[in-house]
Amino acid sequence: QVQLVESGGGLVQPGGSLRLSCAASGRSINTIYAMGWYRQAPGQQRELVATITSGRTTNYADSVKGRFTISNDNVKKMVYLQMSSLKPEDTAVYYCNASFSPAYWGQGTQVTVSS
C-alpha cells in the first residue's frame, strides 16, 4: 500500500509560479519506481503532466515543457512540481501518482491561475 499526500496548490496570477509537493508513505513505498503529476480540469479527463523515475528520467506533456520541472527525493520519498509561467489553462486539480498505478493516487490539490 502506498499513500500519497499533495500540498502547495493555490491561487496565482497568470505568469506566476507555484511549487507542488507530494509525500509518499506506506508499506510498499520501497517498490515505487516512478512518480508523476496528473491534472484534471472541470469537465475534462485526467491528463499526464510530468513523470520521473527513480533514476530521474523525466517525461513532460507538450503543454508544460519549458515551464514545469519535476524532481524527486528518493530518500524522503517526495516528488515536486515547480510550475512557472502559469497560464489560466493550467487551472486544474493536480494529482500525484506512484508507479503509474491506478491504485495509487493522492487526494489532489487545486491550482487556480487567474487575475
User: pLDDT per residue over 47-75, tens digit each?
Assistant: 999 999 999 999 999 999 999 999 999 88
How many Å apart are CA 25 and CA 97, to the nearest integer?
12
What pLDDT, on a 0 to 100 scale, did the predictor assign at position 16?
98
Per-residue pLDDT reduced to its tens digit, 31-46 = 889 999 999 999 999 9
Q: Virtual CA dihedral for 43, 23, 21, 54, nearest 10 degrees? A: -100
Cα gap 115→102, rounded to integer Å:
34
Q: What pLDDT score does 74 carry?
A: 86
- Is the pLDDT at 30 greater than 90? The verdict is no
pLDDT score at 49:
98
CA distance 68 to 1: 29
**Residue 78 pLDDT greater than 90, yes or no:** yes
